[in-house]
Amino acid sequence: MPSEFGLEGHSDADILAHAITDALLGAAALGDIGMHFPDTDPRWKDADSLRFLAHAAGLVRDLGFSIVNVDSTVILETPKLKDYRQPIRESLARTLAIEAERVSVKFKTAEGVGPVGEGRSAEAQAMVTLSR
């Protein structure tokens, strides 16, 4: 989406994909994203974070889990993301191999407070439910 600013990161800095990857790994007690994809590894420089997400989904499925639902929030002052909600949901769902109806993506500002509110940073939060 068009924006004056972007995010810096070792990979593509897709914070939403990272948060959901971490939530998937966490729900199965498989550690965290940094263990699986260290930012010191040149293989992950400028990596497409949807690869991390697909890999984490594969790991939890290998343990016999299925992904019931995903809820997530991006906290960002600008740009406004709500017009992109559906394509983002569909992209995540395709990557996770689940229906888009199971993937919730929410957006909010930090109401001008702190580094996120000042537009210097952004955050993403995610929760994943698994069943076995």
**Shortest Cβ 6–ligand C5P spacing (Å):** 14
Residue closest to ligand C5P when measured from CB atoms: 82
Interatomic CA distance for residues 82 and 84, integer angstroms: 5
Name the nearest CA neighbour of 72 among 23, 21, 127, 26: 127
**Shortest Cβ 56–ligand C5P spacing (Å):** 25
CA angle 45, 62, 72 (to 5 degrees): 60
Give whichever of 45 and 80 is closer to ligand C5P, judged by the CB atom: 80
- Contacts of residue 8, Cβ cutoff 8 Å, sequence gap at least 6: none
**Shortest Cβ 45–ligand C5P spacing (Å):** 27
Give whichever of 24 and 122 is closer to ligand C5P, judged by the CB atom: 122
Query: Which residues contact ligand C5P by CB under 6 A?
Result: 76, 80-82, 107-109
